[in-house]
A = this chain, B = another copy of it.
């Protein structure tokens, strides 16, 4: 099956080619799914493709390292781009169409339009990466307009990102469903990330402190902790006591508004961002409200 899919997988560089392929699929009554990625595909991305494959009849994957979501000092240049391997991965998952545009296709000369969910984009992760989410919403809106999928799939690993994209789609009345799929983790808890390949073996060990800190917070809430302010402080202390970690933030907030002014009985999300060596990692865990509280 993988061999057959590889043969029929279409690779498009241009917007017109994507539109033609998707229009043909839609004309055949197919439900269109889009998995937007920056490539360097891992099991997290593949799980999105499998979810899309399950629910849709025509699966589009975009591979585009979006420059506008990187700040000047960030890792745009060294961001991994293993395109051959990525295309093989897509083929193996039965992807129908890979959209792999050049930067000039997405940002043509004179391009100047930005899209921003102004409140959600400037807090938590957004406070540490000014302009990052503006770059995300701008490129995702372009991709949604180009592909016009029925459903677009995002990973919960980028919790704030999927929340912001949902907000954008709601606010702009985009006729698309946003699906969020669970974070995929290694057996020891490390959340999969394209940036994990930057980590040395010892850094990878140190990086476990992120998911462990989140799990600690989840366990405390499950055990009945209602003082979220104190819990936040404990999370920060844990991370600051971990050698080799430079913490950006560790917090627990309302899962919808990302506000620290959260009820302990609400749906919550614990969020963390830290540098391990030169690699910046993020992770999160959602804490569903329990009836027992």
Closest chain B residue, CB of each to CB of A118: B112
Docked Cα-Cα span, A111 to B137, in Å, equals 15
Docked Cα-Cα span, A174 to B110, in Å, equals 16
Interface residues of A (CB under 8 A from B): 15, 19, 108, 110-120, 137, 141-142, 145-146, 148, 167-168, 170-175
Could you write out 11 A-B pairs with CB less than 8 Å apart? A15-B173, A112-B119, A112-B167, A113-B116, A113-B117, A113-B171, A114-B116, A142-B171, A142-B173, A145-B174, A145-B175
Q: Pick the contact of A113 from B110, B111, B118, B175 — CB < 8 Å? A: B118
Distance in Å from the Cβ of A261 to the closest Cβ of chain B?
15
Q: How many copies does the complex hold?
A: 2
Distance in Å from the Cβ of A78 to the closest Cβ of chain B?
28
Distance in Å from the Cβ of A44 to the closest Cβ of chain B?
26
Closest chain B residue, CB of each to CB of A121: B112
Specify which chain B residues have a CB less than 8 angstroms from the CB of A19 in the assembled complex.
175
Docked Cα-Cα span, A168 to B148, in Å, equals 17
Q: Is the CB of A146 within 8 A of B118?
A: no
Q: Pick the contact of A137 from B113, B120, B170 — CB < 8 Å? A: B113
Most buried by B among A108, A110, A118, A120: A110
Specify which chain B residues have a CB less than 8 angstroms from the CB of A113 in the assembled complex.
115-118, 137, 167-168, 171-172
Q: Is the CB of A108 within 8 A of B170?
A: yes
